[in-house]
Amino acid sequence: MSIHSRLRPAVLLRHAIRNQRRMKHSTAYVTTPIYYVNAVPHIGHLYSSVIADTLKRYYALKGADAYLCTGTDEHGLKIQQAAAKNNASPLDFCDRVSESFRQLCDAADISYTTFIRTTEPRHAKAVAALWTELEKNGYIYKGKHEGWYAVSDEAFYASNQVKEAIDEKTSEKVMVAIESGQRVEWTEEENYKFKLSAFQEPLLKWINDNPTAIVPGNRRNEVTSWIKAGLSDLSVSRLRSRLDWGIPVPSDPGHTIYVWLDALANYLTANGYPWPNKENSVSDSQVANVWPADVHVVGKDIVRFHAIYWPAFLMAAQLPLPKQILAHAHWTMGKQKMSKSRGNVADPFEVMDTYGVDPVRYYLVRDGGFADDGDYSEDNIIKRYKDLAGQLGNLLNRSTAPALNPNAIAPAMPQNVGARDQTLHAKLAALPDTYDQSFEAREFGKGLAAVFDMLAEANKHFQDNKPWDLAKDPAQKERLDQVLYYAIESCRVAGILLQPVLPSKMDTLLTRLGVPKGKRSLSDAQPSREKQVERPLGESRETVLFPRLKK
């Protein structure tokens, strides 16, 4: 019996799913796309990183041992050409641009576990191992490619995926990819191919059996329609005489491995692939604890590579499939695609410098698009900043102010819930579950809106009960404590839940409220009988959490 017959796609799918179910759930592995270094970072790169970091911190909030992988994609013809244009060697060019992406991550407080570069020796080792596995299992063969190739996308396209268009600069007729709008060129060359066509039914079964494998729903439907339209075998190498900036095919150094097979393997590289004892890799501690990825965060423009090519490669290599591919939409400005030529671009470093890191993170997560594009606006950043200052910062200042709270105490939970407190108490009690369900559904804006709905009620409760009047009457001390309890408790619960999005600011808030580091998890956000004792507040009560903007 041949290797190929022993490793049919349907069998590999069952193998991958079975292995996936054996994975432990005390860990969480989240990834950003690795960013192509042909240009410096833009706001879309920041958005992908913030969403991934928010998810990693969210899993940690739930008690998971969470990991985040990010990095840069540094091989391919586009990089080779960009380096030449800049009179630099490919590696020197990559070193410079890759560092700008690392700086963006550091500036945005992205808590990455690994920053991977595809030019690292560990990655070349992982890619070679994956290629060898695919070849051994009978899914790579040598053939001839005739078809369309887009250098900008580093992607091959079938005839039904291209169309004729007019070049805006030269007015000449050109062929472009329907999906991306990028120019394509007809290529004919000998290369290696991957039997993608063998995975049409297994891929459809995987998607149908796992409704949240690709989200949001419109991306899932898009991928399903692509697969049903038919999958052609995929060219996975280029002649080294045409492309030498990449990883050579292990068994044939005259060919360079296709940049997307190279790039996608980074998610394995970050986990130490190839793992020792390959035959028992699923039981290896490193694999069992970290792979498969819980969430691959990607932009909508690279869904095809992550939702078709990547799971097919993994099935063919007998590796577990990612649990979810979360494809976000893009940012526009003035309802138009951002473009340097139009002058409608946003520099992520400048934006964070102007409004602060955490407020910008909050804006991106709250208003960013998944099913549909989000329209970027600094006016809306200012609006969200004012929400943070007015709803959360103001309540924190008022409830901890020496005039109302001279002893710097977070009062104990009232023994009984009075009629005047029932609405706020109910919102506080329900909020952690609402937030959790929203984040699990990847409806981040809905989860954040629920937090601020509670804060709006908390501010109303504070205003309606007039604690400044209660403070004047010693006989009202118990009621004053109850009012302060609900205000401070609202800030505490909001502070815990907002940690994944505003990590630095919420650390300041929770420290100011005297909340110990070990009492800041999702389970701690639920008011309970355990929290009846009073708690001393932290220091720096006079610090303004969200100071007035200068502009």
pLDDT score of 533: 72
pLDDT score of 340: 67
Q: What does each C-alpha distance from 533 to 136, 208, 230, 518 come to in angstroms?
A: 64, 50, 64, 17
Render pLDDT for 512-534 as a digit per residue (tens, 0 to 9). 999 999 999 999 998 764 556 78
CB 491 within 8 A of CB 392: yes
pLDDT score of 506: 97
Instruction: Specify the CATH superfamily of domain 376-536.
Output: Isoleucyl-tRNA Synthetase; Domain 1 (1.10.730.10)
CB 260 within 8 A of CB 338: no
CB 184 within 8 A of CB 176: yes
- Spatial distance between the Cα atoms of 308 and 197, rounded to a whole number of angstroms: 11
CB 320 within 8 A of CB 19: yes
- For residue 326, report the phi and psi dihedrals to the nearest 5 degrees: -100, 110
Beta pairing, strands 185-194 & 140-150: antiparallel
Closest CA to 309 of 261, 348, 275, 356: 261
Question: What would the DSSP string read from start to end of 245-281?
Answer: SSPEETTEEEEEE-HHHHHHTHHHHTTTSSPSSGGGG
Q: State CA 32 to chain mean position distance.
A: 5
Q: Copy the structure tokens of residue 411.
A: 């009062």
CB 126 within 8 A of CB 273: yes
- Spatial distance between the Cα atoms of 440 and 436, rounded to a whole number of angstroms: 6
Residues 221, 227, 228, CA angle at the centre, nearest 5°? 85
Phi-psi region of 261 (alpha: psi -120 to 50; beta: other; left: phi over 0): alpha
CB 361 within 8 A of CB 385: no
Write down the domain spans for the chain: 3-328, 376-536
477's enclosing H/E stretch is helix 477-497
Residue 398: other Cβ atoms inside 10 A: 19
Residues in the chain: 551
Collect the ranges in the chain with pLDDT lower than 70. Answer: 1-25, 277-289, 340-341, 528-532, 540-542, 551
Q: Copy the structure tokens of residue 313.
A: 């490669």
- Spatial distance between the Cα atoms of 136 and 485, rounded to a whole number of angstroms: 65
Q: Copy the structure tokens of residue 467.
A: 């604690």
Q: What does each C-alpha distance from 121 to 67, 114, 130, 288 come to in angstroms?
A: 22, 15, 14, 24
pLDDT score of 61: 97
Q: Copy the structure tokens of residue 35.
A: 């960013």
Residue with tokens 């919102």, as numbered in its chain: 427
CB 346 within 8 A of CB 376: yes
Contacts of 456 (CB under 8 A, 6+ apart): 391
- Spatial distance between the Cα atoms of 495 and 487, rounded to a whole number of angstroms: 12
> 141 exposed, middle or buried (CB, 10 Å; 0-12, 13-18, 19+)?
exposed
One fold for both 3-328 and 376-536?
no
pLDDT score of 280: 37
On whether the 3-328 domain is CATH 3.40.50.620, my answer is yes
pLDDT score of 12: 54
pLDDT score of 52: 98
Question: What would the DSSP string read from start to end of 38-86?
Answer: TS---HHHHHHHHHHHHHHHHHHHTT-EEEEEEEEE--SHHHHHHHHHT
